[in-house]
């Protein structure tokens, strides 16, 4: 890098896909030292983007959450996607969802809450064996999430 004050490039975001997943019945494991452990299975869904479209592979997906006393949810999200071309993608995200107490209560009741009222963000890793999609293995991704009654939506972006 030339000079100690050389300016680094600002990151740019490019949409990779929008995913809409139907949720199964949540499982509250119980409250332990870390907080309330919750598992939210996915029943299915679809994704689409400029270069990728396909479906959520049933039975290979869930949000594993730790819910803190203030309602903040820390998530370990793992899901498998199949592109329309038959390629499989393993996706793992780590994220957080938080907002004021009223918003968190409304989300907990399954209400349709505008995503602008809370923060739901993840850092995401995507792996695939497909040579044509190898760029996914090398990417850095972030996602913005939103909850709907019985569903979750993620828009995943490549950071360039």
pLDDT in tens, 122-155: 999 999 999 999 999 999 999 999 999 999 999 9
Whether the per-residue pLDDT at 2 is higher than 80: the answer is no
pLDDT score recorded for residue 110:
85
* Domain that includes residue 147, residue range: 13-159
Task: Check which CATH number belongs to the domain holding 86 and give it.
Answer: 2.40.160.20
- Region 62-69: mean pLDDT is 95
Which stretches does DSSP call E strand in 2-150? 13-23, 27-32, 35-48, 53-56, 62-67, 73-83, 88-98, 119-128, 141-148
What is the count of structural domains for the chain?
Answer: 1
Percent of the chain with pLDDT over 70: 98
End-to-end CA distance of the chain: 19
Asked if residue 102 belongs to a domain, the reply is yes
Whether the per-residue pLDDT at 60 is higher than 90: the answer is no
Asked if residue 4 belongs to a domain, the reply is no
Whether the per-residue pLDDT at 6 is higher than 90: the answer is no
Give the tens place of pLDDT for each residue, 81-100.
Answer: 999 999 999 999 999 999 99
pLDDT score recorded for residue 70:
92
Burial class (CB in 10 A: 0-12, 13-18, 19+), 147: buried
The CA-based angle 160-124-148, given to 5 degrees, is: 115
Burial class (CB in 10 A: 0-12, 13-18, 19+), 143: buried
pLDDT score recorded for residue 146:
96
CB 1: neighbour CB atoms within 10 A?
Answer: 7
Asked if residue 85 belongs to a domain, the reply is yes
Please list, in sequence order, all residues whose beta carbon lies within 8 angstroms of the beta carbon of residue 25, skipping any fewer than 6 positions away.
41
Task: Provide φ and ψ at 60, rounded to 5°.
Answer: -125, 40
């Amino acid at each position: 890098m030339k000079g100690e004050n050389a300016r680094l490039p600002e990151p740019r975001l490019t949409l990779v896909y929008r995913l809409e997943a139907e949720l199964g019945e949540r499982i509250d494991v119980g409250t332990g030292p870390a907080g309330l452990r919750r598992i939210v299975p996915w029943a299915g869904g679809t994704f689409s983007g400029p270069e990728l479209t396909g479906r959520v592979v049933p039975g290979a997906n869930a949000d594993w959450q730790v819910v803190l006393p203030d309602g903040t949810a820390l998530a370990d999200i793992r899901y498998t996607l199949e592109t329309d071309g038959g390629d499989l993608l393993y996706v793992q995200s780590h994220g957080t969802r938080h907002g004021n107490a009223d918003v968190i209560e409304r989300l907990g009741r399954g209400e349709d809450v505008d995503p602008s009222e809370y923060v739901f963000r993840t850092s995401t890793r995507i792996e695939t064996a497909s040579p044509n999609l190898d760029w996914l293995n090398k990417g850095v991704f972030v996602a913005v999430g939103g909850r709907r009654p019985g569903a979750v939506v993620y828009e995943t972006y490549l950071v360039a």
